[in-house]
Amino acid sequence: MKKILPLLLILSFNAHTEETLSFHCIYTEQMMFPGDSVDSKKLTAGDISTTLKIFPESQFVVFDSSIMHSNRKANYIEEGNSIKWEVGTLAESTGITLKDVFILNRISGVLNWVSYTEKPNNEIKKFSSHRGNCKKLEALF
């Protein structure tokens, strides 16, 4: 027991939990780009939402969306007052990659989400854009 106690003390001093910032984002507008036209619409509060957990020290974000991306993790970069992250999903049957780019303004709380498709010949096409507002979640007690 005497040998275990110093080891436990050393391990407890090395244990570190990174601060996490949690947000809930509700999208207020959506734009779709079918063909050469633009279809824009206002969204009813809560139609589409995203939750974010940001880890500032290690610079990654974990996010869920009500329509896509369940518990996805990505590294982010800082660009001025914003953080930016990207994720991609390859549809193996077609060879098309779905690429999503997220930009969260740390001052205003505005989140922009733009989706692209990339074909095997590297042709990239924007097909949707969402804009919403994020609120920091606080613990109840």
Q: What is the CATH number of the domain that holds 117?
A: 2.40.160
End-to-end CA distance of the chain: 37
Q: How confident is the model at residue 8 (pLDDT cuts 50, 70, 90)?
A: very low
Write the pLDDT tens digit of every residue in 37-95: 677 778 777 688 889 999 999 999 999 887 777 778 999 999 999 999 999 888 888 88
54, part of any domain:
yes
Q: Which of 1, 8, 2, 21 is nearest to 106 (CA)?
A: 21
What CA–CA distance (Å, rounded) separates 110 from 46? 15
Q: Which of 84, 92, 53, 58 is nearest to 71 (CA)?
A: 53
5, part of any domain:
no
4, part of any domain:
no
Local structure of 134: helix, strand or coil: strand
CA dihedral sign of residues 77, 124, 62, 111: positive
12, part of any domain:
no
pLDDT at 120: 86
Which region holds residue 78: left if phi is over 0, alpha if psi is between -120 and 50, else beta? beta
88, part of any domain:
yes
